[in-house]
Structure 1
Amino acid sequence: MGSCTLSSGGVCVVVVLLCLAACCLTCARGAVPAIYVLGDSQADVGNNNYLLHSLLKANFPHNGIDYPGGKPTGRFSNGYNFVDLIAISLGVPSPPPYLSIRSKPMNSSVYLKGVNFASGGAGVSNLTNLAQCISFDEQIDGDYHRVHEALGKQLGIPGAKAHLAKSLFVVAIGGNDIINDLLLSPVSELLRSRDEIVSNLENTLKRQLQTLYDLGMRRLFFVGIAPLGCCPLIRELNPTKECDAQANYMATRLNDAAVVLLRDMSETHPDFTYSFFDTYTAVLQSIRDPEAHGYKEVKAACCGLGDNNAMFLCSPASVYCDNRTSYMFWDVVHPTQAAVEKLMKIAFDGSAPLVSPKNIKQLTES
């Protein structure tokens, strides 16, 4: 990871994998038996492909242009997303989308290798992008709960507990709740203040994380919310085209709440450990000093239409940049693979305050 990036001229699978492995100098091969992923489009590897009526999909060009084979997979990216890179670093397979394997028998070994439940558009609230995605609650209480039962039947209850305790859970959630609030702000502001919205999200997230703990989660990597006010979509809505202060305020508030929730969980449950990645600060540092962090463009999207390619998600009709390694944003809200590589290098073997109280390497070795 780190500075390893794909050339703009195409993809060489072998070179990419070797590059990613070589740049991760502290890769912990075989440190965990599996990765179980829940969240939104940052982590979706194709679940939304199976949602017949959803408009929130990325299974068409130019998405995946830098992914092995150059074809779209349902990842909201030009290549790998952050879950793929974590899996490469840990020496385990990137977990498949749950909806691609849900028909497997309850005793299938496929669930032992990890599963990705993430769905583009999902939020902490069940109302966020309703009917367009698999809600976070459904990912937990429905899909993951079924896998939890399958593991229990296959390994026995003690064996399943031991397996899940050694596995890494990954959660990336909350950004869509904020984006939806901003897009619907004339209505939402009449109902609740933004502080009230964040407080409600905090209470819901507390319940959801506790449920995951009750279902075996013991090691959690939690991805904090980025400075959403600085993504191309929200900038475009701002008359000044600068970062939107309200969006960033809500992101920091929800991040702060998540940090407190995780700390309280670790104090209440001594067998629970976690790593919180401060995506907000890491991304903002790059936006404020792009060249120092290897970027030439941190405002415009690489793939899209309109001013700064910020009017629509990447689609076959979009134009896209040639030098994708110099762009922070792939589309109106999602990062390029190059940006994710830089961020995950920090998350994997960085230190506080950007990743704490442990980095991923330390979390998976404990």
Structure 2
Amino acid sequence: MASNMTYYCTIIYITFILLLCKNVQGIVPAVYVFGDSLADVGNNNHLELSLLKANFPHNGVDYPGRKATGRFSNGKNFADFLAENLGLQTSLPYLSLSSKSNNTSVYLTGVSFASGGAGILNSTNSGTCITFDQQISYYSTVYGNIVQQLGTVQAQDHLSKSVFAIVIGSNELLNYAKSNSGNKATPQQFVDSIIPTLQGQLKRIYNLGARRFVFIGTGSIGCTPALREQNKTKECNAGGNYASVLYNQAVSSLLNEMSTQVTDMSYSFLDTNTVLLQYIQQPSAYGFTEVESACCGLGDLNAKVACLPISTYCSNRSNHIFWDFYHPTEATARMVVSTAFDGSAPLVYPLSIKQLAS
């Protein structure tokens, strides 16, 4: 009898702890991910004609099984750590699921539509990635399947409790910063030209049931090894960083405007540019020793040649901010998402992801 009582008490205690953890972490039913290579978990692997892939060594050298999965990283990326912090499995890439469309229950745990090379504009890396507009169209199909499976009321309830994560804009800013055209628009003019398109895209996602938005802003574009390498001094590209500041400000304003227009929408925005600059300017405080060179690549700053099987890579990835000439290491991604999850203003606002999910 005593042993049975101990058994039941143990079960009750474990259940209590699990419920407590769930409450503390603000677990959500699903995460739907949109964006570019910072969040791509394998969609581009299924694009036969695209060269924008990372499904080969040395990518994935620190991923479980040391396998290149299509992530542009030595290990996990933003999408992985977002799911991990929410107590969920990483949302599977949509193109790996489309052939299993009869089993729509898989969509209820979240889907990733993110694609390396994608941007706000359909012209960005056209033909080599899943554009943001196409990602939303794919999500529209998923939305229809969920409604058919659960009914309109339950589907809306499910989606309103889920997180919709967006990581987009870096590719436009990189293209702008790399452009040497003498008559190109000012950074403000360029940002102003793309924000209306983004506004329409976010409204489409909202109209398809999204209510909790997580937006990971663009990082210090000008400090990527690719843009540093173009400067004789190897300093950050000031124009690229300034464009990122303006873009993040514009996105923040856009989200705030949307949330005042529709009272059932909430959001969390991360000023990734400021977060990364802190790492770059005070590396030792965050455990980094290399802020300029890529870990994997060839040539000056390891930024002349991409991270390919012929490239060399550093032995200690955790002390590098950048994995290749554009993308952060797993260590950087983990820290960035941790700030987004638990941080506070002025880095993340008006809610942290943890608060948004609660």
TM-score (norm 1): 0.90
Q: Distance in 1 between matches of 2:40 and 2:149?
A: 26
Give 1:62's aligned residue.
Answer: 58
Q: 1:222 aligns with which of 212, 215, 227?
A: 215
Structure 1 SS opposite 2:210: coil
Give 1:19's aligned residue.
Answer: none
Q: 2:149 aligns with which of 151, 154, 168?
A: 154
Shift of the 192–94 alpha-carbon distance from structure 1 to 2, 3 Å rule, reads same
Give 1:82's aligned residue.
Answer: 78
Equivalent residues in 2 for 1:31-180 (5 A)? 31-106=27-102, 108-140=104-136, 142-180=137-175
Structure 1 SS opposite 2:99: coil
Cα deviation, residue 29, structure 1: 5.0
Q: How many residues align?
A: 338
Structure 2 SS opposite 1:190: coil
Amino acid at match of 2:126: L
Structure 1 SS opposite 2:229: helix
Q: Distance in 1 between matches of 2:234 and 2:78?
A: 28
Amino acid at match of 2:79: V
Cα deviation, residue 195, structure 1: 2.5
Residue 363 in structure 1 maps to residue 356 in structure 2: yes
Q: Distance in 2 between matches of 1:296 and 1:207?
A: 41
Residue 263 in structure 1 maps to residue 256 in structure 2: yes
Structure 2 SS opposite 1:237: coil
Q: Are the counterparts in 2 of residues 32 and 364 from structure 1 also a CA contact under 8 Å? A: yes
Deviations 1:2-57 (A, max 9, x none): xxxxxxxxxxxxxxxxxxxxxxx999557100000000000000000111111110
**Greater Cα offset, 295-304 or 82-91:** 82-91
Structure 2 SS opposite 1:44: coil
Q: 2:339 aligns with which of 346, 358, 361?
A: 346
Q: Are the counterparts in 2 of residues 232 and 332 from structure 1 also a CA contact under 8 Å? A: yes
Q: Distance in 2 between matches of 1:87 and 1:232?
A: 28
Q: Are the counterparts in 2 of residues 85 and 341 from structure 1 also a CA contact under 8 Å? A: yes
Q: 1:208 aligns with which of 195, 201, 226?
A: 201
Structure 2 SS opposite 1:222: strand
Q: Are the counterparts in 2 of residues 165 and 219 from structure 1 also a CA contact under 8 Å? A: yes
Amino acid at match of 2:197: T
TM-score (norm 2): 0.92
Q: Distance in 2 between matches of 1:26 and 1:105?
A: 30
Q: Are the counterparts in 1 of residues 26 and 357 from structure 2 also a CA contact under 8 Å? A: no
Q: Distance in 2 between matches of 1:322 and 1:192?
A: 41
Q: Distance in 1 between matches of 2:41 and 2:196?
A: 28
Q: Distance in 1 between matches of 2:311 and 2:27?
A: 41
Amino acid at match of 1:341: R
Structure 1 SS opposite 2:183: helix
Deviations 1:258-295 (A, max 9, x none): 00001011111111000001111010011111111110
Give 1:245's aligned residue.
Answer: 238
Q: Distance in 1 between matches of 2:110 and 2:213?
A: 14
Q: Distance in 2 between matches of 1:335 and 1:221?
A: 19
Amino acid at match of 1:144: Y
Q: Distance in 1 between matches of 2:145 and 2:331?
A: 37
Shift of the 78–27 alpha-carbon distance from structure 1 to 2, 3 Å rule, reads farther
Residue 254 in structure 1 maps to residue 250 in structure 2: no
**Bigger Rg, structure 1 or 2:** 2
The Cα RMSD (Å) is 1.5
Deviations 1:49-99 (A, max 9, x none): 111111110000000000000010000000011111121121111001000
Cα deviation, residue 191, structure 1: 5.5
Residue 326 in structure 1 maps to residue 319 in structure 2: yes
Amino acid at match of 1:153: Q
**Greater Cα offset, 342-351 or 321-330:** 342-351
